[in-house]
Structure 1
Amino acid sequence: MKSLLKHRLAWPVIALAALLLLNQVFRPDFLSLRMQDGHLYGSLIDIMRNGAPTILIALGMTLVIATRGIDLSVGAVVAIAGAASCAYIAASPEPGSPVTAATAVLIAVIAGLALGVWNGFLVSTIGVQPIIATLVLMTAGRGIAQLITGGQIISVSNDPYKSIGAGYLLTLPISILITAAVFILAAVLTRRTALGTLIEAVGINPVASRLAGLRSRNIIWIVYVFSAVCAAIAGLMISSNVTAADANNAGLYIEMDAILAVVIGGTSLAGGRYTLVGTVVGAFIIQTLTTTVYTLGIPPEVTLVFKALVVITVCLLQAPKARNLLSSLKAAPKPAAKEKVAI
């Protein structure tokens, strides 16, 4: 039991299970699933579907953080991807055709690639600090999205495009299947090839890895491009779910949730070792927290405080010093009972 609690995923999994049980207590049907019109419905499905964009962005953020970097621009990339795709559909002569939807998706992905290359160029080639390099795009990105939409909310009507965020396939929401596919791809590339080891090497000691002949610059490019593409796909999900592009609010503060998910999942902000599974668990905790807030009827003005308390608790439980302190308190010897003196 003690060995299980020492695992880096132990406390995040316990926290997620506790949140789910708490919701089950207040809503007896919370964990139930039902089939309707060939689709699975239920609170768990809603958590996975609503958390899909955060999971996608957190997966890309995990690899960036593993190289001692940070990507604050993912929210802006979400807004740009949604704005570019919806603007194209709205301006197309056939706004409802599948070809238009496919082209819009391609435009969004290419935009993500270009923005990822830009971030990678600033960090790896120019040598700009990651937080500054991505802060540039974080600030300018929403302005770019506003220019694309003309400062307006662009509404579209395209069923194939809408299915990305609101459609179903094999009884499950398509957004969940897309997220699962990206997770599997990332896991295979980083755990079944040398790429994962190279990312960890760059994060642990970039100087030593460079002296050993490792092209750390290329690795950094790869992770920033992957992060931006994940953000672009998340932008497609968000915009297609509401069939509109809101350049001002789409993806707003989602980078904070992604970073929290990565930290809760057990990946260190100092770089090096990382866990994709832990990131997914962390993202589910963030999304389940939001659901719990509505379930418990917590006032909106204290929602962020409630989430902060839970996140801080989980992070403290994962800290080695906190775990050692708990272990020492449990192992502290009990005072010996006083012997009775016979008279």
Structure 2
Amino acid sequence: MNKSKITKNQAFLPFAIFVAILIFNTIISGGTFLEMKIVDGHLYGRIIDIIRNGSKLMLLATGMTMVIATGGTDISVGSVMAISGAVACSIVSGAILPGLGGNVVAAIILALLAGVLCGIWNGILVAQIKIQPIVATLILMVAGRGIAQLITKGKIVTVSSDTYYFINGGYILGIPFPVYVVLFIVIITLLFTKRTAFGLFLEATGCNSAASKFAGINVGLIKLLVYAVSGTLAAGAGLIESAGIKGADCNNAGLMIEMDAILAVAIGGTSLNGGKFSIPASIFGALIIQSITTMVYALGVAPEITQVVKAILVVIICLSQSKEFKDTVIKIFRREKVVAGA
């Protein structure tokens, strides 16, 4: 692949921005930001923390990319995370379905199934009943946390299972287990969208759903599938989060994370109107958001203004990706250069 093809790739600019943030963090930290060490055979360091803590957002961004590619959106993923964590932790603790004996595998399967059902619900509302995506998913966004509260009976359910904790805190060959989960999901998704016609169907649906129908594409089925995938990946993110805190906190699990997921996709260059998309670009978008979060904490920024700092940095990043903005800056620069030369 030649240089021009690399730079024209949709994932190149998000990757370059991510690297730039890492370099900036390294400079302001005196070179310690990129340091990694091995303790008890496990890798530790801020880079590892970024990848581990960003695993939830990367999963959500993967599903959100496909949803947005069809011209939709899913703002219920945070609530689905809460439902997933509530189901899994309640089963592991024996609060519900005591006949399963706290079986972790059964808890994971049922939690993922809950995510699938949530996704199918959203898909039916969007694809079959024709409700606008943001309104359809708003229903589950609002109701989802109530459902999670019903499952846990309004309590914070805690678990003490080391097997369940492994989902977030485990290591394989010194690398955190969530990294393997993200790699597996991303590889499967890329194979499915790049090696089959499914990716083309997604783009066609997002570009022009009416024309896609005339071309023989089952637009309704495509939308139903992507919302089901989004719900499943949100459930996976909920498992990682609940395993990390060893419990289900229905009020705070995944709270407002859907905004970060949509933002990660936007930073990755995927149009919110649908059409062309890039999973790797969205993954780098998620890493950018997580690295910004890590950076502001490393700088000692007060928690109450962290979101403001993140918002300002994200605006700068988004402007740097806007062709219209860059063209305007270039025109202004050339005009000032001509005036100065005169």
Partner SS, residue 119 of structure 1: helix
The letter of the residue matching 1:233 is: G
The answer to whether 1:169 aligns with 2:172 is yes
**Could you say if the C-alpha distance between residues 324 and 5 of structure 1 is closer, same or farther in structure 2, counting changes exceeding 3 Å?**
farther
The answer to whether 1:323 aligns with 2:332 is no
Q: What is the aligned length? A: 337
Aligned equivalent of 2:24: 22
* Structure 2 gaps, min length 5: none
* Structure 1 gaps, min length 5: 339-343
Deviates further, 312-321 or 47-56: 312-321
CA distance in 2, matches of 1:247, 1:225: 21
Aligned equivalent of 1:91: 94
Q: State the shift of 1:9 in Å.
A: 3.7
The answer to whether 1:219 aligns with 2:184 is no
Q: State the shift of 1:18 in Å.
A: 2.4
The answer to whether 1:292 aligns with 2:295 is yes
Partner SS, residue 263 of structure 1: helix
Match of 1:121 among 101, 114, 124: 124
TM-score relative to the length of structure 1 = 0.93
Aligned equivalent of 1:275: 278
Aligned equivalent of 2:198: 195
The letter of the residue matching 2:17 is: A
Partner SS, residue 297 of structure 1: coil
Q: State the shift of 1:26 in Å.
A: 2.6
Identity of aligned residues (%): 45
For residues 26-105 of structure 1, what are the structure 2 equivalents within 5 Å? Answer: 26-27=28-29, 28-91=31-94, 100-105=103-108
Q: State the shift of 1:167 in Å.
A: 0.4
Partner SS, residue 72 of structure 1: coil
The letter of the residue matching 2:185 is: V
Q: State the shift of 1:334 in Å.
A: 4.2
CA distance in 2, matches of 1:287, 1:313: 16
Aligned equivalent of 1:254: 257
Aligned equivalent of 1:341: none
TM-score relative to the length of structure 2 = 0.93
**Could you say if the C-alpha distance between residues 126 and 40 of structure 1 is closer, same or farther in structure 2, counting changes exceeding 3 Å?**
same
Q: Is the 8 A contact 2:92 2:107 kept in 1?
A: yes
Q: Is the 8 A contact 1:11 1:314 kept in 2?
A: no
Q: Highest CA radius of gyration, 1 or 2?
A: 1
Q: Supply the RMSD in Å over aligned alpha carbons.
A: 2.2
Aligned equivalent of 2:140: 137
Partner SS, residue 160 of structure 2: coil
CA distance in 1, matches of 2:97, 2:11: 49
Partner SS, residue 103 of structure 2: helix
Q: State the shift of 1:322 in Å.
A: 1.2
CA distance in 2, matches of 1:274, 1:117: 22
Q: Is the 8 A contact 1:26 1:295 kept in 2?
A: no
